[in-house]
Structure 1
């Protein structure tokens, strides 16, 4: 039997090579397409996760802005109260000097029922406890103040800060009572909008979200120009 010539074998190899090469290229192409598809799917998943995280972050930022606004309002109220205490102390010393002069002249006037110095001192001490983060002690100090000085002009503020301290101390029922006292007895007082917002904070702490939303709407409708209304709008929006 004759062997095929070498050139014939080479020709046969060349004729069959493109078919094998085509099969090889097709398989590689399918692998590349699957790789690109998987990579694209992974990118889409990562983008969706990033979008969800961005939305959650935006909501958290809005909530933090509302909380910062509320805290800023509390700080401003504290500073205002401290200035009021200093003013009352100055007035007391002026009044005391006038009384002493009257006594020296022999014309004694009626005795004061409330000692303004003690009133200012006790109110300032309660405020300092609150500023120091001693919430339970501050709540007790304000409770004592409103009982001792039932006719004080500081009563609306004292009830408001008593509610704030009690809320921080997790005594929700006590906080609600003080906030409602301000809202019901002094609805036109400067503390009333924040007191009503404090009621909403208590409702939130109790998990009463529907009542909280209704109270936030009441803050907006009753005190539309207040800082408390701005905070309520932000909370409802988030």
Structure 2
């Protein structure tokens, strides 16, 4: 089909404009597609960065958890070692306590055997040869303690029953028994001994304040008794256990001053020398 020349000329004049518009439209379409693609890429990169950050956070938390688990495992191991060491120490302490108690009982048995030889016996009664216990008491100071009169059999029986409790380690029973004895026989021939053993029972239970108070009663009520010097020795021992070293030294010196000829005085001299050397 042939167009008229005028129309062809008009079309021919506008054809470059048409081509330009067509090319611009295509370029714009291409530009639009590239922007969308870039936006999507940017979005994906952001998502990737966010995921990386989350992964890093999770990794950090996992490392903390692992570190805490390792630390806990180490602590459990340390605690196990400490528990084993503590059990070992407890066993050693128990062995030491058992050994000390045995030596203490042996000491009291030997001591009582010697003291019984000094204590008066009821007339007609056999002298016990194997009785246990106290702190050796011998003739005293400048003025020897007055001899105790023989105890009636009932009085001696009450005393022996209480002393028997002391020997087997029933210290509360011994204190109760000797206290009852003192109520029944406040001026009995064995009253000083009963009061003395009350103090020793408290000392054996490590109630040093009551031990001191009980032994001071021996000194105040029975100053001329053969038990008085040993009561002072027991007071010094209690003061030493309480950490009152100055008071203990003073008490030991008073034993030497008041009862210079007694066995207690000799013991006090040895104890003072040990304290000077830093021994307990």
CA distance in 1, matches of 2:111, 2:263: 7
Per-residue CA deviations over 1:98-128 (Å, capped at 9, x if unaligned) read xxxxxxxxxxxxxxxxx94332211011111
Contact preservation (8 Å) 1:126, 1:138: yes
SS of aligned partner of 2:243? coil
Contact preservation (8 Å) 1:78, 1:127: no
CA distance in 2, matches of 1:218, 1:132: 32
- 1:1-238 correspondence runs (5 A): 73-78=111-116, 80-81=118-119, 84-85=120-121, 87-88=122-123, 90=125, 116-238=152-274
Q: CA deviation at 1:181?
A: 1.1
SS of aligned partner of 1:230? helix
CA distance in 1, matches of 2:202, 2:124: 27
Contact preservation (8 Å) 1:193, 1:223: yes
Aligned-residue CA RMSD in angstroms?
Answer: 2.5
**Which structure would you say has the larger RCO, counting Cα contacts within 8 Å and 6 or more residues apart?**
1
Distance 1:194 1:206, change over 3 A: same
CA distance in 2, matches of 1:197, 1:153: 22
Per-residue CA deviations over 1:44-86 (Å, capped at 9, x if unaligned) read xxxxxxxxxxxxxxxxxxxxxxx9xx865554124544xx35x
Contact preservation (8 Å) 1:88, 1:120: no
Q: CA deviation at 1:89?
A: 6.6
Q: Which has the higher helix share?
A: 1
Unaligned runs of at least 5 residues, structure 2: 1-103, 127-150, 275-280
Contact preservation (8 Å) 1:89, 1:120: no
Contact preservation (8 Å) 1:89, 1:117: no
* Structure whose CA Rg is larger: 2
CA distance in 1, matches of 2:112, 2:257: 21
CA distance in 2, matches of 1:212, 1:202: 8
CA distance in 1, matches of 2:255, 2:271: 12
SS of aligned partner of 1:151? coil
Q: CA deviation at 1:88?
A: 4.9
Distance 1:88 1:201, change over 3 A: farther
